[in-house]
Amino acid sequence: MWFAAYTRGLRPDGTAEVKRFASKTSLEEAVRKRDDDRRRWFAHTVPDAPVETQTVGQFLRKRWLPSLTRGTQTLRRYERDVRNHVDPDRPKATSIGHLRLRALQPTAVAHLYRSLSPSVARNVHALLHVAFSRAVKWGDLEKNPCDLVDPPAYAAPEMHPPTEEQVVSFFAAALERDDRHLDVWFWLADTGCRPGEMLGAEWADVSRTGEWFVQRQRDSTDKPVVKPIKNKLRRRVQLTDRLLARLADRRRDQHRAAERAGEAWEDLGLVFANRTGGPFRWSNLTPDFKTALGLAGLPDWPPYVFFRHAHVTIGLASGVSLHDMARRTGHTVEVMTRVYAHRSAARDRDAAAAWERATKLG
């Protein structure tokens, strides 16, 4: 007899779960059986375990994740958190993927949270709460153990968008060297939109009066897909005169590029298309943006903070109302008040000066 084996992880009691395979013919036959089963295991195509014995990892990977119809990036984040924190291939002392779902205790969930950073713990809590709520609905659990665990406290880190002078310096340097992505940078800065909304903009969305009707966003994945905009809040955004002038030149350049490409041109009607008319990928733009920051002598900002947050904070400081800025950027007024308003130093200085004038002695 020849034998081959591999370890699947830990059983609910903490002992290793070992799968063994035997062959009376040859060692190669036993190894083939083992490798075939291991491939099925890691591809998550092994038949489902009975409800009474299924582990947390089996439920998440086999039943819950395949049932979701969320966006591509959301599914990627869920899968990543399950793989890295909840049910890693090599179980940790704090992971819960190897524990039986029906025997899961709130103390084990709390122990997992304490082992993670606050921001990651909040993401994992949100994932598990939704997953276990579905388990209760399906009859796999009697009650949601996450209801008995307090989510980790987490405060968003303070972000410091660039000042008006820094934004001017960035565009002055980009114009001086004729940056090839100038249209992208101006679009993001002048509209304050999300990168995905910029990637999904089509020429048909821009009216003759210079308004952009924000209707979709595009995931920048290996196979870009169009999906509804965040919060499903369609809105109209007035474009600046300088941006409209650049768009007119860009459209003429696109027509010439289509003539050169001939049948290879993919006519998707995108404002920001690659050399053959296909969609841009945001991952290809980020390195160029960091290079542009360095050439302008500016600190390293994420593009989202540099463009969108600067658009909001500078607009608020210039007297644009919270409601108008919320409609322009697709935020709620509550988010505008909580995240952005307190970062408008100019408005705070005006408030202090107004108070001093009103209470001036003598």
Read off the pLDDT of each residue in 346-361 and give the average, rounded to a whole number.
74
Output the DSSP codes for 197-253: HHHT-BGGGB-TTSEEEE-EEE--SSS--EEEPGGG--EEEEPPHHHHHHHHHHHHH
Average per-residue pLDDT in the chain?
A: 84
Give the separation between CA 65 and CA 70, rounded to whole angstroms: 10
What pLDDT does 362 receive? Answer: 60
Residues 220-238 as b/e (b if ≥16 CB within 10 A, e otherwise) read: beeebeeeebeeeeebebe
Is there a contact between 5 and 31 (Cβ–Cβ < 8 Å)? no
Read off the pLDDT of each residue in 6-12 and give the average, rounded to a whole number.
70
Give the separation between CA 154 and CA 126, rounded to whole angstroms: 13
> Is residue 137 over pLDDT 50?
yes
296 pLDDT band, cuts 50/70/90, is very high
**Where does the chain hold its CATH 1.10.443.10 domain(s)?**
164-353
pLDDT in tens, 206-221: 998 999 998 888 775 5
What pLDDT does 11 receive? Answer: 60
Q: Is the pTM of this model over 0.75?
A: no
Give the separation between CA 274 and CA 259, rounded to whole angstroms: 14
Quick count: other Cβ atoms within 10 Å of Cβ 242?
11
> Is residue 30 over pLDDT 60?
yes
Read off the pLDDT of each residue in 61-67 and give the average, rounded to a whole number.
88
Which CATH homologous superfamily contains domain 52-155? Tyrosine recombinase, N-terminal domain (1.10.150.130)
What pLDDT does 231 receive? Answer: 56
Choose the CATH number for 164-353 among 3.40.50.1820, 3.40.640.10, 1.10.3720.10, 1.10.443.10. 1.10.443.10
Residue scoring higher pLDDT (63 or 218): 63
**Where does the chain hold its CATH 1.10.150.130 domain(s)?**
52-155
**3-class DSSP state for residue 94?**
coil
Residue scoring higher pLDDT (108 or 231): 108
Give the separation between CA 340 and CA 151, rounded to whole angstroms: 25
What pLDDT does 135 receive? Answer: 92
> Is residue 338 over pLDDT 90?
no
What pLDDT does 27 receive? Answer: 92
What pLDDT does 46 receive? Answer: 57
What pLDDT does 289 receive? Answer: 93
Read off the pLDDT of each residue in 73-84 and give the average, rounded to a whole number.
88
> Is residue 47 over pLDDT 80?
no
> Is residue 81 over pLDDT 60?
yes
What pLDDT does 189 receive? Answer: 93
Show Cβ contacts of residue 240 under 8 Å, excluding neighbours closer than 6 positions.
186, 190
What pLDDT does 222 receive? Answer: 46
pLDDT in tens, 138-194: 888 989 999 999 887 766 556 688 889 999 999 999 999 999 999 999 999 999 998
Give backbone dihedrals phi and psi of 335, rounded to 5 degrees, phi first: -65, -40
358 pLDDT band, cuts 50/70/90, is confident
What pLDDT does 256 receive? Answer: 92
Read off the pLDDT of each residue in 103-113 and give the average, rounded to a whole number.
93
What pLDDT does 136 receive? Answer: 92
